[in-house]
Chain A
Amino acid sequence: MNRPESPQGAVRRRAVSSVFAVLAAACGLHARAQTPLPGVVPGPAPVPRAAAPAELAARPLAQYPWVEFARAYFEGQNVSVALDTSRYPWTIGQTVDVWVVAHRSALEWDANPFLVDARGAPQSVTFSAGSVQANTFVLTNALSGDAGTSLGVGYDVVLDLDGDGKLGEPDLIDGLGAEAGFYVCKPTALAGPLAVTEVLYSGGTWLGEDIYYPTNIAALGALPLVVVSHGNGHNYTWYDHIGTHLASWGCVVMSHQNNTMPGPDSAALTTLQNTDHFLANLGTIAGGVLAGHVDSHHIVWIGHSRGAEGVARAVDRLFDGANSFATFTLADIALVSSIAPTDFLGTSSANAHTQNMSLWVGGADADVDGCVASDIAVSWPLLWRATGVRQSIELHGAGHGAFHDGGGSTVSAGPCLLTRLDVHPIMKSYLVPLVKRYTEGNIPAEDFLCRPWETFQSPGVPTNSCVVVDLQYAEMASTGKRVLDDFETNLTTALSSCGGTVIQTFDIYAEGRLDDPNSVFTFTASETFNGMCDGRATDNVRGAVMAWTTSDRGVNFEVPIAWRDVRDYTYLSLRACQSTRATETTAALGDLDFTLTLQDTLGHESSIRASAYGMGIEEPYQRTSCGTGTGWNNEWETVRVRLTDFTRDGSLVDLANVAAVELRFGPSWGGSSGRIGLDDVEFVRE
């Protein structure tokens, strides 16, 4: 959808925008009639004096902005090259060789500018005026994604505009720098390249360990350590699917006995003691083969259930100084990954603090069931208490026992139940990028954690219609992200947390704590925050809820003057959910579409539908109980749109002067009716 009309009498109430809109109209500056201007910053087209960086490697889309400049692709998946000629008008009419080159750093390009196509030969394309659609070409030939135990082979894309076979003026390159233009990845749901050895070890009471490592570890360096802490009634030998898989991708995995029956604090102590014992006894465990091959500074803790709360509590114990070890410190815990955690210990103790955290939730969990009747059975607060990078993976139909491989019941309730054969490949497909992201700083891994399941999933995962996966991804504050509104300060609805004005036209619009106010998911119109599970009474997690019925509505967040230049930012990001069991939700059950709009200080605007990327706001899992009605917790999903996508095809919107972000809903913009939650509207970097 390219530059849609404004909502009828709905959102555009901001005086400055309206004034400029009128002026623009009077001057004949209707967006559709505009002559495209080059560059992100309006002005005359600069002619590059050396090879210029550009976004080129792309995935075609069926609607505006027509292409997504994604970073990660799977082997065998089409990669396209796309050029927005409105930004590079000097390329129009040119027939150009497209080179796909094994990624080089800037220094390497300086040393060796000669182009060598990884496919054997470059590909000739001709650029034309008009939409990027007409200038999108599938890159021929398969590219290798074999990066050994790492994830993704980097390639740079070069448009050799002068045809000299070298990188230089006036060529365009996607990938000039530390990051490649794109990455081709092996399927992460499938085993990695290494054979795996498993050994059982016991170092004493609660020190039984099931250890997995690459069989040829003697030839490898120091590998990240993944520790698995099981749940109550579970067993440390029930995680072969995790241990074998991650070891095949170059990790050492240790699953240990866990003292869960007294509670998660005892489990936390067991996690700490096993981590310490393991690192302190590498010289003897498994005959000493691991000595020198475990990187004690890159540790991932994965816990399940009480053990999943335990790993957060273990971080808390290190954070508080209650425990310390010679073998590792808090800084060495690269990631805490909690699978269906309980929350017995609450805000102050079940808390991963500054560490990176991932959360796994099964929609059909019949034990830690997520029903708001008990805070203990609701996992989500653990995620939002952490302040590192946070991500969640929610699987419809996955029961509590589906996450281990111990057999027996999957401890599940609800429709469209998944088996372990469904769940484990999905787990594997995300575990690899999780571990690679936080132990290696792997770049393409971030795509796995951010891009919606619907459009980016590893070969090898189940594809039946019952498989629904929702992802959230939140950068930490220290990245310098610009949070327009997290609803946690400036608590009036007319003011965002960053101090900008908020104008909205919804039938219902409220800010509040993301905590269901009673013990059931039963919907009543007056219970605005029904189905919210992100915090308990002692957690400060807030957001907004808005509703509309068959009319166009919207909300406009002013960008403060000092923040209006967003060229240094990569994405507009937000998270949203549909309200469970609400009449507006059940009226048209399904992914809910909406439109994101950027407005600049001159009144130009550009709009993109979430569905353009295959995204939408997921409907809640259709499970009953926990009150009357159908639908489980509100399922948040992160929606990220690349800022330069708003500038596609000659859009006049100026990323150096963004005045407002507007979210539009209703028949003209997406779902006709809806009741949704909204949080964390922000500009983030890649």
Chain B
Amino acid sequence: MKRSWSIGLVLLGVAALGVFAIERVSGGTNGAPPRATRTGTEVQTLLLAVPFELEEPYVHAWRAERPSVQSGWLVVLEVDAEKVRPTELAQPVLCAGDETLERYHHGYEAGRVVALLPADKVFGARAAVELAARTFFFASPQLPEQIDALAISAERALAEQRGCAPFALPLVERAARRGGAPIVVKDRVELDRLAAQLILTYSPADRARAEELLR
């Protein structure tokens, strides 16, 4: 029974994301959604945000403490492409508030990144408010697996000094509406499949990565 419930929610999530994808694609060129108005220089805007909750937690490998995560946000961000240029060397680390985001892919060609932001479960109207309180920024180039709470806090202060600020609540609310209903699924595998759809929509050059997640 529980399995059926999960599958139902997955389908619900896919439907919600699918509606958004169709909406965006219809307004874009060459099959990619149009760029939103830029509101920042490094993390330029929040295109989509949808809360998620998992039955089975996963380890968030993108910070040194490697916390266990069971809820948060699946987001699509428009970013300065140079910050996500693929390299084997150190890259800027995408953060929001005092947390690092897990980027599903590089997103260099599109300048858009699909990512997971670990967060406490907050569904409903308060969710957008909570998200709007966070400053999205790129920490200095380093390994995400080596950055800890102290370093994130220091990097956040630096980011705010250079003008990074939270997104306006209306923008976050709009992104949350695009995201649709919260995703409640069994595990990361199911969540990843939803994220793969977003990669295909927002960063089609990373199709190979999306296909990995869909297999």
Q: A residues within 8 Å of B by Cβ?
A: 200, 202, 204-205, 208, 231-233, 235-237, 257, 259, 261-266, 269, 305-306, 340, 342, 344, 367-368, 374, 376-377, 400, 406
Contact = CB atoms under 8 A, between A and B. Distances in A.
Interface in B45-64: 58, 61-62
Interface string B100-119: 00110010000000000000
B86 interface: yes
B61 A235 contact: no
Interface string B140-172: 000111100000000000000000000000000
B192 interface: yes
Given A261-B103, A262-B144, A263-B143, A200 B215 contact: yes
A342 B62 CA distance: 18
Contact of B90 (A208, A233, A376): A376
B100 to A, nearest CB: 9
16 contacts: A208-B212, A233-B106, A235-B208, A237-B208, A259-B61, A261-B102, A262-B145, A263-B143, A265-B143, A306-B88, A340-B88, A344-B146, A368-B89, A374-B89, A376-B90, A400-B88
B209 interface: yes
Contacts of A204: 189
Contact of A208 (B106, B143, B215): B215
A212 to B, nearest CB: 17
B86 A233 contact: yes
B188 interface: yes
Contact of A205 (B87, B145, B192): B192
Contacts, number: 64
Contacts of B106: 233
Given A200-B215, A202-B215, A376-B90, A262 B208 contact: no
Given A208-B215, A237-B208, A261-B103, A266 B89 contact: no
Given A208-B212, A208-B215, A232 B86 contact: yes
Contacts of A368: 88-89
A218 B208 CA distance: 32
A10 B136 CA distance: 68
Contacts of B146: 263, 344
A406 B90 CA distance: 22
Contact of B88 (A231, A236, A265): A231
B78 to A, nearest CB: 19
B214 to A, nearest CB: 9
A592 to B, nearest CB: 32
Interface of B: 58, 61-62, 86-90, 102-103, 106, 143-146, 187-189, 192, 208-209, 212, 215
Nearest to A270: B61
Contact of B58 (A205, A264, A342): A205
A365 to B, nearest CB: 9
A620 to B, nearest CB: 22
Contacts of A406: 208
A404 to B, nearest CB: 12
A265 B145 contact: yes
B55 to A, nearest CB: 14
Contacts of B209: 235
Given A257-B212, A342-B88, A367-B87, A262 B58 contact: no
A359 to B, nearest CB: 15
Contact of A344 (B103, B143, B188): B143
Main secondary structure, interface of A, reads: loop
A340 B88 CA distance: 10
A374 to B, nearest CB: 7
B103 to A, nearest CB: 6
Given A232-B87, A264-B143, 8 more contacts: A202-B215, A204-B189, A205-B189, A232-B86, A235-B208, A235-B212, A261-B102, A263-B145
A367 B215 contact: no
A633 to B, nearest CB: 17
Contacts of B188: 205
Contact of B61 (A208, A266, A367, A374): A266
Contacts of B192: 205
Nearest to B100: A262
Contacts of A269: 61
Contacts of B62: 261-262
A666 B21 CA distance: 72
A398 to B, nearest CB: 15
A367 B143 contact: no
Nearest to B192: A205
A654 B155 CA distance: 68
Contacts of B88: 231-233, 305-306, 340, 342, 367-368, 400
B104 to A, nearest CB: 9
Q: Considering residues A261, A266, A374, A406, which has the most beta carbons from chain B within 10 angstroms of its beta carbon?
A: A261
A305 B146 CA distance: 18
Contacts of A265: 143, 145
A377 to B, nearest CB: 6
Q: Considering residues B62, B103, B187, which has the most beta carbons from chain A within 10 angstroms of its beta carbon?
A: B62
| 8 closest A-B pairs by CB | A233-B86, A263-B143, A263-B145, A262-B145, A305-B88, A262-B144, A262-B61, A202-B215
Contacts of B103: 261
Contacts of A205: 58, 187-189, 192
Contacts of A236: 212
B108 to A, nearest CB: 8
A377 B89 contact: yes
A233 B61 contact: no
A342 B103 CA distance: 20
Contacts of B61: 259, 262, 266, 269
Contacts of A374: 89
B89 A342 contact: yes
B144 A261 contact: yes
A344 B212 CA distance: 26
Nearest to A400: B88
A583 B106 CA distance: 43
A377 B141 CA distance: 14
Given A262-B145, A263-B145, A233 B87 contact: yes
Nearest to A304: B88
Q: Considering residues B89, B106, B212, B215, which has the most beta carbons from chain A within 10 angstroms of its beta carbon?
A: B89
Contacts of A259: 61
Contacts of B143: 262-265, 344
B128 to A, nearest CB: 28
Nearest to A344: B143
A228 to B, nearest CB: 15
A208 B214 CA distance: 10
A200 B211 CA distance: 12
